[in-house]
Amino acid sequence: MKYLIFLLVPFVFYAQNEGKNDAQNAIIKEYLDDCAHRYNYIIQMKEWQNCIDEGLKKDSTIAYLWQQKAMPYFKARKYEAGMPYIDKAVRYNAERWQPYRAFIKCIFAKTYKEAIADFEDCKKKYGNGYVMDHTYDFYMALSYLQLNEYQLAEKLLQNYVDDMLAKNGEEWVHFTALFYLGISKYEQNKLEEAIAEFDRALKKYPNYSEVKTYKGICLYKLGKKEASEKIMKEAESDYKQGYKMTEDNAVYETYPYQLRRK
């Protein structure tokens, strides 16, 4: 029953000023805010899409409507179905939606070479901006990890961490960035260095089960089996209590090196 209740909770979006003019914003309000948002796209996809389609008949150049048409397909893991629509959004507002498309390619569709190319193009045009709480370099690094290009991943992640440190101090360095920096070193068998990054992450998020698991693997490889066993037990307990990857979209997709325990 609790899962059914979750599915029926309405999704709320905020679309202020997404159009380029008052006429476009009026269409967004009529066909997205007042129509599509009456439905839950998980169980009422057809109704959602019908509303969006009617809006696009009024003006097919509204990038936000194309993105809102694409988004439910991505969350339903129908990547090829959704990609032509996000391409349309990029066509009509590249600065707003190209970074989002690159993010989708990295985390959802898992087409890593395409994600890197898209992010590289974004960096050339707009600089190393942010999408979904992290820089373009962060997602490029995740893509390189998945392509076994560990040195490239480490370089990008180190720059990301160093930049956060220089701008705002250690307290503002994101623990997930430290986790992946540790992973990039772990994959190169730089185990002591990996543990150092994992320890930095654990100071910020002491129950981070993924971090504890990979720290345990490093300890085991270093011959510290007792310490490894101890932290592995902690990781399992933390995971069962819900202390795991905190990225917002981890509820929809498995991130690189994210744990999925039974």
pLDDT tens digits, one per residue of 87-103: 999 999 999 999 999 99
**What pLDDT sits at residue 262?**
67
pLDDT tens sequence across 194-236: 999 999 999 999 999 999 999 999 999 999 999 999 999 999 9
pLDDT tens sequence across 63-90: 999 999 999 999 999 999 999 999 999 9
Q: Do domains 1-92 and 148-262 have the same CATH topology?
A: yes
pLDDT at 192 over 90: yes
Q: For the chain, what are the domain ranges?
A: 1-92, 148-262
**What pLDDT sits at residue 260?**
82
Q: How far apart are CA 66 and CA 86, in angstroms?
A: 6
Q: Does domain 1-92 correspond to CATH entry 1.25.40?
A: yes
**What pLDDT sits at residue 14?**
42
Closest by CA to 211, choosing from 184, 241, 245, 237, is 245
pLDDT tens sequence across 50-65: 999 999 999 999 999 9
Whole-number average pLDDT of the chain: 93
Whether residue 102 contacts residue 113, with contact meaning beta carbons closer than 8 Å, is answered with no
Could you tell me which CATH number the domain at 148-262 has?
1.25.40.10
pTM for the whole thing? Answer: 0.90
pLDDT at 8 over 80: no
The dihedral over CA atoms of 209, 161, 115, 46, expressed in degrees to the nearest 10, equals 50
240 burial type by CB count under 10 A (0-12 exposed, 13-18 middle, 19+ buried): exposed
186 burial type by CB count under 10 A (0-12 exposed, 13-18 middle, 19+ buried): buried
In 10 A of CB 55, how many CB atoms?
A: 24
